Structure 1
Amino acid sequence: MQPLEPNAVFKGLDLSDRDFTDADLTEAVFEDCRFEDVQVSGAGFEGARFKACRLVRCRFAHAEFREARFEDCVFSEAQQGVAFAFSRLDEAVFARCDLSFARFDRAGLYGVSFEACNLRGSSFIKADFAKALGRSIVRTAGSFAGSNLELADLAELRLPGGDFSRCSFREADLANADLEGADLREADLFQASTFGLKLARADLRGAEVSGLDLKALGSIEGLRVTLDQQAALLTAMGVEVSAT
């Protein structure tokens, strides 16, 4: 049996029955591997690479995934998603992954990047996109560009300046989230719950904003929209817009 150790390469293996507790798999490579019903606690996957892997019905608790990369991986099956609880995923990259119904529970996500991922029905419970760089300097970073966030629970999410361009938020919960200064160009906010959502200085040019009630938002100062979006925004506020 191939040992679980740093820099190891695993290809085409079913690793579902392995015990990953406290394993050190720094910089390991996993290609076309299966992880099913795996419960992982305290393992280190810093800088690891996962390609075309299936990680379904798995739970990663207190695990380290800093700078890990996942490409074309599947984390969901029959509406059951992966769980990352109290894990560190700072600057991790998920590219074209199916993360439907994933749970990021108190996970560290500073600088994480979701590239064209399916995050339908996912939840981010007290997820932390911030990093302290000094006694009084705290920065936030994260990107969801081109991802599907329909039905996602993003309530109270704090990611000012984040990249949400071309994302779908249909029927997502964005209540009291802080997306000030975020890139929301060409995003779809149709039927999203946006009460208390902070959008000051955010860029919504080209976004689907019908139904977005500016009066119910937490902040709007410096919000960027185009002229052809005005009618939809005014209508949502109860203003009758006439062509003449």
Structure 2
Amino acid sequence: MKDTINKIKVEKPKLPYDLKEIDLLNIYKNEEGEISQGIVRDFCHNNAEVDNLSINQMLFRNAVLRDSEFNKIEITDVRFENCDLSNACLSEAVIHRAEFVNCKLVGINMSETTLRNVSFKECNGQFSFFRFSDCKQVSFEECELKGSDFQKCNFIKVNFDKCSLIQGQMSGTKLGGMDFTTCDIEGMGVRIEDLNGAVVSAFQAASLAKLMGLVVVY
């Protein structure tokens, strides 16, 4: 059965009405293990290294955290707005009910992450790295994902809508039931067996036919 964006329900973060201002730099310095129910805005601190941090019910707005390492981080009920996490490492993170809106995620490392009810909207995720991640109820809408790596992921109710997946890598990830008709998948790396049941346009099918060694005559 065709699995479209309308059939994928992604829960939104559950945020309190009143959020207190939080100085994230102070959290780093004191090596606190948890931050919750707050807002971090207009914050810039690159190359941070934080281990085992738990982030709950937080709003990040206009935060710049490039080239930072968040080892085994847990994120629950968090919204990122206009943030820059380029080349940040969130490998092995657990992320539940989170939104990334208009964020710069170029080269972000989210390999081996567990994502549940996570949405990415209008984000630049070129060359992002999601390999070996476990994704359930995850949505990518109007995202730039050129050269992204989703190899050997576990996808359950994952949606790509109006995304650029040019030269993206999907080998070893089962794509059955997923609708790519609104996306640009030119040069996408994928195995034939992984495409079984995927929904593509006639033009996309002709391009993917090259994977089978077919020559399409128009």
Task: Choose which of 5, 21, 26 in structure 2 pairs with 1:29.
Answer: 21
For residue 210 of structure 2, give the secondary structure of its aligned residue in structure 1: helix
Work out whether 1:185 is the aligned partner of 2:185: no
Change (3 A) 1:154 1:47: same
Query: CA, structure 1 residues 40+198, in 2 after alignment: closer, same or farther (shift >3 Å)?
Result: farther
Q: Pick closer, same or farther for the CA change 1:160–1:217 going to 2, 3 Å.
A: farther
Please tell me whether residue 241 in structure 1 is matched to residue 216 in structure 2: yes
> Matched residues in 2 for 1:231 and 1:104: separation?
37
Note if 1:231 corresponds to 2:206. Answer: yes
User: What CA RMSD, in Å, does the superposition of the two structures yield over aligned residues?
Assistant: 2.4
1:125 aligned to which of 107, 111, 119: 111
Query: Which residue of structure 1 aligns with residue 76 of structure 2?
Result: 90
Match for 1:124: what amino acid? M
Partners of 1:123 and 1:185 lie apart in 2 by: 22
How many residues matched?
200
Q: 1:181, 1:199 within 8 Å by CA — same for their partners in 2?
A: no
Taking structure 1 as the reference length, what is the TM-score of the superposition?
Answer: 0.72
Structure of greater Rg: 1
Answer whether contact 1:147 1:166 (CA < 8 A) is retained: yes
Q: Which amino acid aligns with 1:233?
A: L
Gaps in structure 2 of 5+ consecutive residues: 1-18
Partner of 1:24: none
- TM-score, normalised via structure 2 length: 0.80
Counting aligned pairs with the same residue, the percent is: 18
Name the residue aligned to 1:111. Answer: 97
1:68 matched residue in structure 2: 58
Equivalent residue, structure 1, for 2:117: 141
Aligned equivalents of 1:104 and 1:75: distance in 2? 12
The runs of 5 or more residues in structure 1 that have no matched partner are 1-26, 130-139
CA distance in 1, matches of 2:107, 2:29: 22
Instruction: Give, as a single letter, the amino acid of the residue that structure 1 aligns with 2:78.
Output: A
In the alignment, what sits opposite 2:13? Answer: none
* Deviation, structure 1 residue 105: 2.9
Alpha-carbon displacement from aligned partner over 1:50-87 (angstroms, at most 9, x marks no partner) = 111113221222222112110111112xxxx1222222
Q: Are residues 1:163 and 2:139 paired?
A: yes
Q: Does 1:222 align with 2:212?
A: no
- Contact kept? 1:198, 1:220, Cα under 8 Å: yes
